[in-house]
Structure 1
Amino acid sequence: MKIITETARLIIREFNLDDAQAVYNFNAPEEVNRYTGDAGMCESIEDATNIIKNIWLKEYAKYGFARWAVVLKETGAVIGFCGFKNETRIDAVDIGYRFHPDYWGKGFATESNQACIDYARANMNFDTVFGEVMPENVGSSHVLKKLGFKLVRQYQEDGYTIDSYAIQLQSASA
């Protein structure tokens, strides 16, 4: 199990197949996927296993990164995901996060993704990272702004309005 980074409350690590139950648990509540476009993609332990095996593990091997597990140090429970994805839809690196609703409003999205940004600045060769969110998802937009992302454009895709935020990770002189 590869640990990526840690915060005072969280361990951020790569997912493994033993995390299937946790992945199912944090994706199961309907409100979790309301603004993601992923509704219906994780409706069983088998679906969760397939996401880990066919998406995240393959992306770790191909790109060296993908969404990472967020583990609550206090309990050892996987409470969601954070981190980066090579998003072919926008041909750029995207930051994302998803947590079980029991953990909403406690600062975990900001804390975990700030740790990811700090890690990327020190260890990854990203110039710009994007965060895409539906305007109705006020909580997620707030997290991106707290992380230093700036709104760069709004566009329509598949009948949805998307706000695209970006942050520069490398200074111009780097």
Structure 2
Amino acid sequence: MSLPEMRAHRPDPSAPSKDQLDDSLAKDLDHWAHHGIGRYVVCHEAKPVGLCGLTRRPGYPGWNLSYHLHPEHWGKGWAGLMARAMVALAETHTKEAYLHGLVRPANPASARVLEKACFTEAGTVALGGAESRLWIRALGTART
């Protein structure tokens, strides 16, 4: 996430410091240790394409689905592939009834990815001091 384009829709789009990166890695490792699931680095031909994963976000239903792509891979179907893979993982690895995704209004491409993955827009929330759209998807028997 060192490129400005990859941080543009984060609550704080400034470049993270080394301490912030270390803290983020420690939180990811702790998440894996506590939940047995987390964020993945996605590679193609031995090169990173981006990140995706399932994480807990207190106050939101189920697992948070996230994906972040290197700009050279935008518009090539990677985000949809990652979203579908995380939905399939949630279906088999968790007992949760729902997944959620959070999208900034200025990122309509991300909203389209969630819509294609059968998420439904469920309202607006404040995240990191800025407006985000909450998207929800039912899993397993909770689906209608």
The bucket for the TM-score relative to the shorter chain is: 0.7 to 0.9
TM-score normalised by structure 1 residue count: 0.73
Given candidates 65, 77, 85, the residue that maps to 1:95 is 65
1:108-163, Cα deviation, whole Å (9 max, x unpaired): 01101201111221222221010011111111111110111000112345542211
TM alignment of 1:15-34, pairs within 5 A:
27-34=1-8
Task: Work out whether residues 134 and 162 of structure 1, in 8 Å CA contact, stay in contact via their aligned partners in 2.
Answer: yes
TM alignment of 1:125-136, pairs within 5 A:
125-136=95-106
1:58 aligns with 2:24: no
Q: Which amino acid aligns with 1:144?
A: L
Using the TM superposition, give the Cα deviation of residue 41 of structure 1 relative to its aligned residue in structure 2, in angstroms: 5.5
Using the TM superposition, give the Cα deviation of residue 42 of structure 1 relative to its aligned residue in structure 2, in angstroms: 3.1
Using a 3 Å threshold, how does the CA distance of structure 1 residues 61 and 140 change in structure 2: closer, same or farther? same
2:11 is aligned to 37
Using a 3 Å threshold, how does the CA distance of structure 1 residues 108 and 36 change in structure 2: closer, same or farther? same
1:77, 1:132 → 2: CA distance? 27
2:103, 2:82 → 1: CA distance? 18
Task: Indicate the percent of aligned positions where both proteins have the same amino acid.
Answer: 22
Given candidates 48, 53, 64, the residue that maps to 1:83 is 53
Using the TM superposition, give the Cα deviation of residue 170 of structure 1 relative to its aligned residue in structure 2, in angstroms: 1.7
Q: Which amino acid aligns with 1:104?
A: W
Using a 3 Å threshold, how does the CA distance of structure 1 residues 158 and 65 change in structure 2: closer, same or farther? closer
Structure 2: any 5+ residue segments left out of the alignment?
Answer: none
Q: Which amino acid aligns with 1:71?
A: C
Q: Which amino acid aligns with 2:130?
A: Y
* Corresponding residue SS for 1:171: helix
1:59-105, Cα deviation, whole Å (9 max, x unpaired): 10011111111111xx2112211121111253642100111111111
Structure 1: any 5+ residue segments left out of the alignment?
Answer: 1-26
Q: Which amino acid aligns with 2:42?
A: V
Using a 3 Å threshold, how does the CA distance of structure 1 residues 158 and 57 change in structure 2: closer, same or farther? closer
1:20 is aligned to none
